[in-house]
Amino acid sequence: MDNFTKEEVKNFIIGLCVIGMTLLCIGLFRYQHNSWENADNSDYTLFATFNRTDGLEIGNKVRMAGIDVGRVEDAVLDEDFRATLTLKIRSDVKIPDDSSASIVSNGIMGNKYIEVEPGGSDDFLAEGGEFGYTQDAMILEELIDRIISLGKSKRKTHQPSGPSAEAVQDTEK
CB 116 within 8 A of CB 64: yes
pTM to 2 decimal places:
0.59
Q: Any idea where the domains of the chain sit in the sequence?
A: 1-39, 42-141
Whether 49 contacts 102, CB under 8 Å: no
Among residues 60, 57, 55, 63, the alpha carbon closest in space to that of 142 is found at 55
Percent of the chain's residues with pLDDT above 70: 83
Mean pLDDT of 77-96: 91
pLDDT in tens, 109-161: 778 899 999 988 899 998 999 998 898 877 777 778 888 888 888 777 766 65
Tens digit of each residue's pLDDT (9 = 90 or more) over 91-119: 899 999 999 999 988 877 778 899 999 98
